[in-house]
C-alpha cells in the first residue's frame, strides 16, 4: 500500500521533545531527525501544516513563571514557539523542503502574519506551513492552536507527535501500570481528564469532528505509519 490515508494533515510537534537528551532548548540531532520524518511524508504528496510547542523553552504555567502575571508569561511562551518554528523551518530548508512560517502575533520583521487564505495557498502549492505563536491568545496552548488551525485549513486529522506512544489510562511517565488505548472518544478523554492534551483542544476537535492521532515522535517510522493509516498510536474520535 503506497497511498497515504490523508491529503491534508495538521501535525502538532512536541516542543519538549526538541530538547532530546539536553536539559533545555533545541537539540540539533533531534530536530534533524524530526525533519527527516516530515520530509518522508511530504514526499508522499501529503499537504502538511505544523504547529510546534514551546515546552523546551518556556511555558506560562512552568515553575519559572511563578509570580509572573499569567498573560505576560503566556506571551513569553508564544514567543518561544516562534523560536522553535523558525528553527524548524530553517532545518527544513537545509533538508531541501520549502516551508513558510506564519505568526498569530504581529512580529512582521521576523515572521509573516497568519492570514488564512495565504496559508491555504501555500498548502495548495505544496509548501509546508508552520503556524507560530499558538492561537495568539494567552490562557491557551499549542494543542488548542493545532485544533484551531487544523479546523481552519480543513485538515482531515490532527497528528499529535509527542514523547509517549498514545493516550493512556493515566500519565505513563508517572504510573507504570497505565495501559494504552487503541482508540478513545473525545467525550471519554474529557470525562476521564486525560492530560495528554488539554480539554479545550479535545472539545474543539470534537465539535468540528476532527479526529486526533496521538503517537510517538521518538519512535522511528511512526509518523509515516500514521499517515499511511496503519494501526499506530491512539485515535481520538467523535
Ligand atoms: N493519559 C495520558 N496518556 C498519555 N500521556 C499523558 C497522559 N496524561 C499525561 N500525559 C503526558 O502528556 C505529555 C504530552 O503532553 P504535553 O502537551 O505536556 O507535551 P508535548 O505536547 O509533547 O509538549 P509541548 O507542549 O512542549 O509541545 C506526555 O509526555 C505524557 O507524559
Ligand atoms: O495559544 C497559545 C499557545 C501557547 N501559549 C503559551 O505558550 C506556552 C508554550 O506552549 P505549549 O503548548 O505549552 O508548548 C504555553 O504554556 C503558554 O504559556 C499561549 O499562551 N497561547
Nearest to 25 by CA among 33, 34, 15: 15
202 Cβ below 6 A of ligand 2:
no
- pLDDT tens-digit readout, 86-144: 999 999 999 999 999 999 999 999 999 999 999 999 999 999 999 999 999 999 999 99
CA distance 38 to 87: 14
Question: Helix, strand, or coil here: 131?
Answer: strand
212 Cβ below 6 A of ligand 1:
no
- pLDDT tens-digit readout, 40-70: 999 999 999 999 999 999 999 999 899 999 9
173 Cβ below 6 A of ligand 1:
yes
Distance between Cα 196 and ligand 1 center (Å): 4
Instruction: Report residue 212: phi and psi, to 5°.
Output: -125, 135
- pLDDT tens-digit readout, 210-224: 999 999 999 999 999
Ligand 1 atom 5 nearest Cα: 196
Pair 135, 145: CB distance under 8 Å: yes
Instruction: Report residue 57: phi and psi, to 5°.
Output: -120, -55
- The ligand minimizing its distance to the Cα of 52 is 1
Measured CA angle at 7 (ends 204, 224), to 5 deg:
90
77 Cβ below 6 A of ligand 2:
yes
Is 143 annotated as contributing to ligand binding? no
Pair 77, 56: CB distance under 8 Å: no
Which triple of cell numbers denotes residue 135? 492561537
Prediction pTM value = 0.98
| Pocket test residue of 31, 130, 164, 169 for ligand 1, highest count of atoms within 8 A of CB | 164
Protein fold of 8-237 = Carbamate kinase (3.40.1160)
How many residues can be counted in the chain? 238
Distance between Cα 109 and ligand 1 center (Å): 33
Amino acid at each position: 500500500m503506497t497511498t497515504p490515508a490523508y491529503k491534508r494533515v495538521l501535525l502538532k510537534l512536541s516542543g519538549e521533545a526538541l530538547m532530546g537528551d539536553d536539559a533545555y532548548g533545541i537539540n540539533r540531532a533531534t530536530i534533524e531527525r524530526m525533519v527527516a520524518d516530515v520530509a518522508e511524508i511530504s514526499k508522499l504528496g501529503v499537504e502538511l501544516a505544523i504547529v510546534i510547542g514551546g515546552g523546551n523553552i518556556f511555558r506560562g504555567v512552568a515553575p519559572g513563571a511563578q509570580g509572573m502575571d499569567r498573560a505576560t508569561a503566556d506571551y513569553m511562551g508564544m514567543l518561544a514557539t516562534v523560536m522553535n518554528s523558525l528553527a524548524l523551518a530553517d532545518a527544513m530548508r537545509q533538508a531541501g523542503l520549502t516551508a513558510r512560517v506564519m505568526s498569530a502575533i504581529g512580529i512582521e520583521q521576523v515572521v509573516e502574519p497568519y492570514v488564512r487564505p495565504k496559508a491555504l495557498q501555500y498548502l495548495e502549492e505544496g509548501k509546508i506551513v508552520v503556524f507560530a505563536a499558538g492561537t495568539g491568545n494567552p490562557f491557551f496552548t499549542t494543542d488548542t492552536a493545532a485544533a484551531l488551525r487544523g479546523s481552519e485549513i480543513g485538515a482531515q486529522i490532527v497528528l499529535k507527535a509527542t514523547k509517549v506512544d498514545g493516550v493512556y489510562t493515566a500519565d505513563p511517565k508517572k504510573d507504570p501500570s497505565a495501559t494504552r488505548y487503541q482508540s478513545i472518544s473525545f467525550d471519554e478523554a474529557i470525562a476521564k481528564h486525560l492530560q495528554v492534551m488539554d480539554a479545550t483542544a479535545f472539545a474543539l476537535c470534537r465539535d468540528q469532528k476532527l479526529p486526533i492521532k496521538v503517537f510517538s515522535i521518538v519512535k522511528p517510522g511512526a509518523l509515516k505509519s500514521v499517515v499511511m493509516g496503519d494501526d499506530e498510536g491512539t485515535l481520538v474520535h467523535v
